[in-house]
A and B are shown apart, each in its own frame.
Chain A
Amino acid sequence: MTAAVFFGCAFIAFGPALALYIFTIVTEPLRIIFLIIGAFFWLVSLLFSSLIWFTTATLIGNKDEPREKYLLIFGVLISVLIQEMFRFAYYKLLKKASEGLKTINPYEKAPSMRLLAYVSGLGFGIMSGVFSFVNTLSDSLGPGTVGIHGDPPQFFLYSAFMTLVITLLHVFWGIVFFDGCEKKKWYTLLVVLLSHLLVSALTLISPHYGLNLVLAYIIMVLMGVWAFFVSGGSCRSLKLCLLCQDKDFLLFNQRAR
């Protein structure tokens, strides 16, 4: 639409990711590296799923409307599966690498698996958000807005919010997933996979953006809560933090040792 919409949507979609990056990742070079590797793993998963989609499309051959749609749905589902597979692969890699990290850096504490889960989730989320939104964002710079063929005119806003929710969801999925792998709770992986499938499937009902977004945000909140508890938070620590009683808590903690 114009520069205003461009910047507005860019900030909406990438603002939280940028904030997370600035405050948590940038300070430590090792975290940056793991973030980039995570992003790379997501890219490779995208490559594989696109190869599969492409070969299927070529094999099927003719391009009539219903087939295109089914091909799309198929592509989406395969892609979700492959992304989760690559998340698992990254987990395995990190597990193996943590031994090696200790030898590289014996004096510094290696990042914990929980931190790595968060970093990998953020890597996946940032890359996924960038890929899904940058194209649309570049079209928003022109003078026109969506709608001449009857599509809803808030297309850019919807896309931006959707990108935001997907990014955050990847972070939470990463945390939950790695925790499930660590504690061998395999049902966690299944839940992550299913919720990812659900969110992606929701995007396929494209004209009803509102419903789509609301459901996605609900899922995000639920996953967020789960991730919070998984990473060591608790209602008590939250209450203490919010009521600014943490100072007493710490002192008390230290005294108790």
Chain B
Amino acid sequence: MVASTSASLRIDSRKFPGYELPAPGAPGHRDGARVGLEKPLPEKVGIEASAQLRGKMATAGGGCVADPGSRSLLRLLSFCVLLAGLCEGNSVERKIYIPLNKTAPCVRLLNATHQIGCQSSITGDTGVIHVVEKEEDLQWVLTGGPNPPYVVLLEGALFTRDVMEKLKGRSGRIAGLAVSLAKPSPASGFSPSVQCPNDGFGIYSNSYGSQFAHCRAFQWNKCYRDHNLSPNGSAPAFPLCAMQLFSHMHAVVSTVTCMRRSLIQSSFSISPEIVCDPLSDYNVWSLLKPINTSGTLEPDDRVVVAATRLDSRSFFWNVAPGAESAVASFVTQLAAAEALQKAPDAATLPRNVMFVFFQGETFDYIGSSRMVYDMENGKFPVQLENIDSFVELGQVALRNSLELWMHTDPMSQKNETVLNQVEALLSTLEQSGAGVPTVVLRRLNQSQPLPPSSLQRFLRARNVSGVVLADHSDSFHNLYYQSIYDTAENINVTYPAGQSPEEDLNFVTDTAKALAGVATVLARALYRLAGGASFNDTIQADPHTVTRLLYGFLVRANNSWFQSILRPDLRSYLGDGPLQHYIAVSSPTNATYVVQYALANLTGKVIDLTREQCQDPSQVPTENKDLYEYTWVQGPLNANETDRLPRCVRSTARLARALSPAFELKQWGSTEYSTWTESRWKDIRARIFLIASKELEFITLIVGFGILVFSLIVTYCINAKADVLFITPREPGSVSY
């Protein structure tokens, strides 16, 4: 049979994306993909698939490893059902395997010196499923069970360091690990982060013991209960339910190694096999008053910076609900931006205000370190000298008794000038907070360092006077920091049952009201810091905006408001579940786009241009592309709900590249900048099936050999005696007795 595969291995031809901003109208570089997650993910392989999907795999035509060649030819001719039931191509495969769709794999991330994450062998790892619901069940897997290797199915609450330490190192008996989400979230908290996240440089952890892990509950239930459970703790009988996990990662050791290998490949190979990609995306930023972005500001122009982070992460790839770690903060800042823009004298304030949303802060401050680097090298319109003060929003959704803590850096305040500036900053904040009864601003008693925040990167470069607003005074209130359980429930965003999605969208939750209070304080403080005085008390953040944003980011992205603010070609980026906030390697991600367009909608203006003018405003004399960003958005549905009313939105919301300077400078072992990369892979999936006992397989083989040998012997004998056995009728004078 000719060995050609129909779904052949696709060669990756994706080039490294450039460092420039994406052109308006171009969605950035995306390839096809195939993961059954709610967030569409770009694929690493160049050839096919829709522009929506993203991921890093090339599927190799079904589950079978060997001899796929015959299958494609056979498919062509297999309309014939000659011997029904024996000639049915991949319907035999359907009788054997059940692919698991709703899973999230754990992938390998690398930094300058270490790797974290999970890995499988290249042919996948297979093991008999065993469910571990309490710690005692581990004994079966580790020592008692007679049919190793096992794939351990952990209940979510057991996915802890102690259990993993016990499983670590028993790779002979354990083929893999799958975790089912604990519902409700574990009460004692769950966070895969270390004690001190982003500690100066890095979340150092050794490569985690297990082979790899998937999460979420799936159809193992029936298969397991039917075949793997046996009474009285005796060994269950074959055939047993087993699972096979594929997540072979290409990158190893560290970023230095994998980037070096990728570089060698791309220099010398015709079809280079890149093994890892840097984590990168875009920061979103906007200004209260527009400036000419083709140049830089004068040193006299002062800017107040309001910053927050956009991203989060979890143990599993592309699952990063980040409700308290990121979403609440940036939603608050979006509401503050809207409120400030509505101030009547916003255009005439002495100092400008820049709202910036940093991407990649989870991974050693990718976005903020890049912005500082760009500012130092004049590649960003605002320079470090222009920064007057810096207000950052940390985690703000879990406030105890209305308290919002103001964290400052004690080290830089040793300088007298900075001390005074920070003092002024704090008093401005307190004055702004005085008018908002739902927020009580508190200073810290003792001198305490800053929590993990983007301000730290700015302070590394220059002594700016800055403050971080957070709901915690010392340790986090977030029990699920950067984990899969940091969802809407974690910040009490719940909706009454029985409502339609539209009603949920517009339902103002208590959390939304609380965050609106924080946004009001922030907006008023920024107004004062920017030099405004008269309209302080009229600035008010809208809880309605806050709740719509929270609903869209945490519950259901595909709602009417999000649909109306996006460009028409980005429509399908909104899934039916929440958006995920992992930075990933293809950019811009869905969440980044949605934040940019939400910012544009909330702070920009609808202007009367046609579509062509909007996409190229250089022809229009009154509009200036350097000052503003023009986008053609879908708009709301018309009255009959059949069509949309698109419009042109003019705003200052832009994207700025967030790729760690370490990759610009090719310093892959840098200790100064983030060096996080994500490994590439070809195939990530899981499937369950039954396996037969080794005895049965052996018997089959023996029977086969036996039949072969027997038929050889018989044929030889018959052949040797053929002239005796088969008398030809024409032979003259046959036997005559």
Contact = CB atoms under 8 A, between A and B. Distances in A.
A205 to B, nearest CB: 9
B697 A2 contact: yes
B701 A204 contact: no
Given A153-B692, A232-B727, A249-B724, A133 B733 contact: no
A146 B88 CA distance: 14
A75 interface: yes
Contacts of B65: 141-142
A142 B97 contact: yes
Contacts of A54: 79
Contact of A138 (B66, B80, B84, B691): B66
Interface stretch (B193-201, B595-603, B714-722): B714-722
B698 interface: yes
B89 interface: yes
Contact of B86 (A5, A19, A146, A163): A163
Interface in B50-92: 63-68, 70-71, 74, 77-90, 92
A9 B96 contact: no
B419 interface: no
B83 A8 contact: no
B184 interface: no
A120 interface: no
A131 interface: yes
Residues of B contacting A: mostly: mixed
A14 to B, nearest CB: 9
B721 A241 contact: yes
A90 interface: no
B339 to A, nearest CB: 57
Interface residues of A, number: 80
B82 A79 contact: yes
B30 to A, nearest CB: 32
Contacts of B81: 53, 72, 75-76, 79
A145 B727 contact: no
Interface residues of B, number: 69
Given A132-B86, A135-B74, A7 B701 contact: yes
B218 interface: no
B545 interface: no
Nearest to B241: A148
Given A12-B704, A15-B707, A139-B92, A257 B697 contact: no
A39 interface: no
A54 B81 CA distance: 11
A24 B715 CA distance: 8
- Looking at B80, B93, B96, B689, which has the most chain A CB atoms within 10 Å of its CB? B80
A148 B724 contact: no
Contacts of B2: none
Nearest to B687: A144
A138 B712 contact: no
B702 interface: yes
Contact of A145 (B66, B67, B85, B689): B689
Contacts of A114: 726, 728
A128 to B, nearest CB: 7
A159 to B, nearest CB: 5
Contacts of A200: 82-84
A142 B96 contact: yes
Residues of A contacting B: mostly: helix
A157 B696 CA distance: 11
A204 to B, nearest CB: 5
A47 B82 CA distance: 11
Given A75-B80, A143-B244, A145-B692, A246 B724 contact: yes
A234 interface: yes
A133 B724 contact: no
B82 A135 contact: no
Interface in B681-737: 687-692, 697-698, 700-705, 707-708, 711-712, 714-716, 719, 721, 724-729, 733, 735-736
B715 A19 contact: yes
A231 interface: yes
Interface string A220-257: 00000000000111100110110000100110110011
B77 A24 contact: no
6 contacts: A23-B716, A49-B80, A50-B78, A135-B70, A153-B690, A200-B82
Interface of A: 1-2, 4-5, 7-12, 15-16, 18-20, 22-24, 46-47, 49-51, 53-54, 57, 72, 75-76, 79, 112, 114, 128, 131-136, 138-139, 141-149, 151, 153, 155-157, 159-160, 162-164, 166, 200, 203-204, 206, 231-234, 237-238, 240-241, 246, 249-250, 252-253, 256-257
Which 5 residue pairs spanning A and B have beta carbons closest together? Answer: A144-B689, A11-B704, A8-B704, A8-B700, A15-B708
Interface of B: 1, 63-68, 70-71, 74, 77-90, 92-93, 95-98, 124, 126, 223, 239, 241-242, 244, 687-692, 697-698, 700-705, 707-708, 711-712, 714-716, 719, 721, 724-729, 733, 735-736
Given A50-B77, A148-B689, 20 more contacts: A2-B697, A5-B700, A8-B703, A11-B708, A12-B700, A15-B711, A24-B719, A49-B80, A75-B80, A114-B726, A128-B83, A135-B90, A139-B92, A144-B244, A145-B239, A145-B690, A159-B86, A200-B82, A206-B84, A246-B724
